[in-house]
Amino acid sequence: MCGIIAYLGKKVAQPILIEALKRLEYRGYDSAGVALLGSGAIRIKKTSGRISALEKILDEPDAAETLGIGHTRWATHGKPSTINAHPHLDYTGKIAVVHNGIIENYGTLKTWLQNEGAAFASETDTEVIANLIGYFYAKGDSEEEQKKSDGQNKFEWSVQRALQEMHGTFGLAIVCSDFPDTIIGAKRGSPLILGVGDNEYILASDAAAIVEHTTQAIYLADNEMVTINPEGFHTKTIDNITISKELKQIEFSLEQIELGDFPHHMLKEIFEQPKALSTCMGGRIDSRNNRIKLGGIDSYLRELTRTKRLILIACGTAFHAGLVGEFLFEQLARIPAETEYASEFRYRNPIIEDGTVVISISQSGETIDTLAAVEEAKERGATVLGIVNVVGSSIARTTDTGIYLHAGPEIGVASTKAFTAQVAVLTMLAIELGRRRHIRSDQASKYIDELSQIPDKISQILNQSDHIKQIASANIDQDNWLFLGRGFNYPVALEGALKLKEISYIHAEGLPAAEMKHGPIALIVDGMPVVFIATAGPQYNKIMGNIAEVRARGGKTIVVATEGDENIKQHADHLITIPDVPEFLQPMLTVVPLQLLAYHAAVLRDHDVDKPRNLAKSVTVE
Ligand code: F6R
């Protein structure tokens, strides 16, 4: 969703802001803009459309402008348009703001400001922020108010006053033409990181926009703000209490977020899965002692071992990983588990009994629904564990304990390597809890051994990419697809359908295969592609029955099966194979051909795979 950038240093700001905005593109956006300061008034350039459209309307960079803010907007309040694009200038023309988040009481504030004489140009909630800061800046200089401001400058005081009136979420970068060497950043609910370089500062909603300049950063927490100028920076709460923040190392490199030889980040990340999983599991699998070591949650392992019930909460692809986790915990650890959409959990008056542990799963660690569900679960007394990729993200900081994926940055909007890494972490946790509860040591050792071979087995599947491209090509004109699986592979069917929908814009449904007969079978017409996950396992014969039902109605079967299964060949119009592994390890393999199928279908349909329409990488609004 919206991406924020601000630069203050000795270099010319405009090209730095544009490069940084390109690094934020993957978050999803529909318009972009910059505001530059240095030679007098604030100079704003903004437009709907891509950064390339913004570049076309930019003037030559001005060497005097060494400070600026920039934004990629994902529309919430007001359609994508130039007028609604950020930065927004206040009615006095002195304050410019870029914003990520939603101001819930913007309607009331807007009416009040209009009554006070403030003019509005856009439909956005962000303009209310600019105008409210501008209002306090223009009016708030009575002796009384200046006294309250405790010696701080008027700009900072006005920002604090305005933010104290705001309900909702914000990540903000703000400039004021009277202070051409100052940027203020503030955060509540939306991420904001300050990169601290050599005589330069980069404030961004995402570390991907910072690493090119520095890997040293401070992570703002909710209701905190930072004031930056050439002398340095200071951090406070928005209630004006000074706080000190620790400088942290950003844990990934520029190389990891660049495309290299791949045409798209999504394809790069699909192919990175063997390495991502090796890193995720490396150091955690202790084959000598038949154990899994999950250092981060050491002090919670006894509580987890004794837990009576697990609730997994997540959204989208992470939710599908959670569904796999449900099977894993029940089968391997014999712990009752259920998976819930985070957005439903938080509004459902959930029952948290003594001994319930909540596991939240999130790649970005910023998904607002998951974050809010974590807070809800904590408030109701649950211990909450986070399975998160982005180090230092909001969910990672809010949960009681957690396990990082260590899958490396995921830039492709369609989540791929994060899914397999989430399932790998859930598998490790389930095996370890199972070992502590009831699994014999020789059995645990066998499981651990098989798990450690998964990265190599994914590599074997990746070799079929060209074959899968041909399958996508043969079915590319079809507008309705079904994905069917059973048991551990039922969540994979959901994930396969989601992948196809989000980047190819082909309508697809994922279902537990047996459910097909209870309605969706009516959809099957001649030539409709139906993707089956029919790997070796206890439900193999049942799914063969479902394949026959589809073929009898003219459906075309694309079957993911186990290598060496000769019988399946006669039932598949197209066959993709995976190496033989126990059923509980299959999801990490069966999902890979479905990721490739969706990828190739999207490319064949000429879609921008890394920037699918309407989608955002990290969903920071409800
Ligand atoms: C789909 C996808 C989304 C995310 C979902 C949750 O490919 O990426 O469905 O899985 O928005 O995001 P995180 O995992 O960041 O909480």
DSSP assignments along 116-142, one per residue = TT----SS-SHHHHHHHHHHHHHH--S
Check pLDDT > 60 for residue 556.
yes
* CATH number, position 17: 3.60.20.10
Distance CA 19, CA 337 (A): 45
**pLDDT average, residue stretch 598-607:** 97
Q: Which residue, 250, 269, 290, sits at the end of a domain?
A: 250
Give the catalytic positions in this structure: 2, 617
Check pLDDT > 80 for residue 147.
no
Least confident residue range of 70-79, 109-118, 582-591: 70-79
Query: Is residue 548 in some structural domain?
Result: yes
Q: Are 121 and 83 in contact (CB under 8 A)?
A: yes
pLDDT of 141 reads 62
Shared domain for 300 and 421, answered yes or no, is yes
**pLDDT average, residue stretch 222-228:** 96
Shared domain for 303 and 435, answered yes or no, is yes
Query: Is residue 35 in some structural domain?
Result: yes
**pLDDT average, residue stretch 39-61:** 92
Distance CA 259, CA 257 (A): 7
Shared domain for 473 and 536, answered yes or no, is yes
Distance CA 318, CA 313 (A): 9
Check pLDDT > 60 for residue 317.
yes
616 CA: nearest ligand 1 atom:
11
Distance CA 313, CA 373 (A): 8
Residue 39 dihedral angles phi and psi, to the nearest 5°:
-115, 40
The per-residue pLDDT for range 30-43, each reduced to its tens digit, is: 899 999 998 778 99
User: How is the chain split among helix, strand and coil, in percent rounded to 5?
Assistant: 40, 20, 35
pLDDT of 149 reads 56
The per-residue pLDDT for range 117-126, each reduced to its tens digit, is: 999 999 999 9
Supply the range of the domain harboring residue 548. 463-622
Residue that the structure tokens 């030679």 belong to: 39
454-462 and 441-452 are packed helices; what angle lies between their axes, rounded to 10 degrees?
30
Residue nearest to atom 8 of ligand 1 (CA): 415
Shared domain for 320 and 412, answered yes or no, is yes
**pLDDT average, residue stretch 496-501:** 98
Check pLDDT > 90 for residue 614.
no
Task: Give the pLDDT band (50/70/90) at residue 585.
Answer: very high
314 CA: nearest ligand 1 atom:
16
- Which segments within 330-398 are labelled E, that is strand? 337-341, 356-362, 383-388
Q: Which residue, 424, 452, 480, sits at the end of a domain?
A: 452
pLDDT of 143 reads 56
Shared domain for 17 and 159, answered yes or no, is yes
Distance CA 201, CA 183 (A): 10
pLDDT of 139 reads 85
Query: Is residue 457 in some structural domain?
Result: no
Query: Is residue 406 in some structural domain?
Result: yes
Shared domain for 390 and 530, answered yes or no, is no
Ligand 1 pocket by Cβ (under 6 Å): 315-318, 362-364, 367, 370, 414-415, 498, 502, 618-619
Check pLDDT > 90 for residue 373.
yes
Shared domain for 442 and 548, answered yes or no, is no
Task: Give the pLDDT band (50/70/90) at residue 514.
Answer: very high
Query: Is residue 458 in some structural domain?
Result: no
**pLDDT average, residue stretch 168-185:** 95
Rg (CA), the chain: 26
Q: How far is the CA of 371 from the centre of ligand 1 (A)?
A: 13
Give the CA-trace dihedral at 422, 427, 430, 432, to 10 degrees.
-110
Check pLDDT > 60 for residue 455.
yes
pLDDT of 229 reads 95
Q: How far is the CA of 117 from the centre of ligand 1 (A)?
A: 42
367 CA: nearest ligand 1 atom:
16
Tell me the percentage of the chain whose pLDDT exceeds 90. Answer: 85
Query: Is residue 470 in some structural domain?
Result: yes
Residue nearest to atom 7 of ligand 1 (CA): 414
Q: Which residue, 226, 250, 274, sits at the end of a domain?
A: 250
pLDDT of 146 reads 60
* DSSP per-residue string spanning 411-480: -SSS--HHHHHHHHHHHHHHHHHHHHHT--HHHHHHHHHHHHTHHHHHHHHHTTHHHHHHHHHHTTT--E
Shared domain for 426 and 350, answered yes or no, is yes
Q: What mean pLDDT is reported for the chain?
A: 93
Shared domain for 472 and 582, answered yes or no, is yes
Query: Is residue 321 in some structural domain?
Result: yes
Task: Give the pLDDT band (50/70/90) at residue 9.
Answer: very high
Q: Provide the pairing of β-strand 31-37 with 43-48.
A: antiparallel
> Strand, helix or coil at 588?
helix
Q: How far is the CA of 510 from the centre of ligand 1 (A)?
A: 17
Shared domain for 388 and 359, answered yes or no, is yes
Q: How far is the CA of 163 from the centre of ligand 1 (A)?
A: 29
Task: Give the pLDDT band (50/70/90) at residue 1.
Answer: confident
**pLDDT average, residue stretch 413-425:** 97
Tell me the percentage of the chain whose pLDDT exceeds 70. Answer: 98
* CATH number, position 539: 3.40.50.10490
**pLDDT average, residue stretch 202-227:** 94
Q: Are 533 and 484 in contact (CB under 8 A)?
A: yes
Q: Which of 423, 445, 428 is nearest to 282 (CA)?
A: 428
N residues, the chain: 622
Instruction: Determine the distance from the C-alpha atom of residue 273 to the mean position of all C-alpha atoms in its chain, rounded to a whole number.
Output: 17
Amino acid letter for position 365: G
Type and span of the H or E element at 579: none
Query: Is residue 374 in some structural domain?
Result: yes
Distance CA 190, CA 463 (A): 40
**pLDDT average, residue stretch 404-419:** 95
Residue 64 dihedral angles phi and psi, to the nearest 5°:
-75, -15
**pLDDT average, residue stretch 154-163:** 94
Shared domain for 442 and 472, answered yes or no, is no
Residue 577 dihedral angles phi and psi, to the nearest 5°:
-115, 155
**pLDDT average, residue stretch 447-470:** 97
* Pairwise pLDDT comparison (250 vs 466), residue with the higher score: 466
Distance CA 593, CA 598 (A): 9
- For the chain, how far is it from start to end, CA to CA, in angstroms? 11
317 CA: nearest ligand 1 atom:
10
Contacts of 57 (CB under 8 A, 6+ apart): 45, 47
Distance CA 365, CA 194 (A): 18
Q: Provide the pairing of β-strand 216-219 with 224-229.
A: unpaired
Q: How many domains does the chain have?
A: 3
Shared domain for 424 and 470, answered yes or no, is no
* Pairwise pLDDT comparison (29 vs 468), residue with the higher score: 468
Check pLDDT > 90 for residue 427.
yes
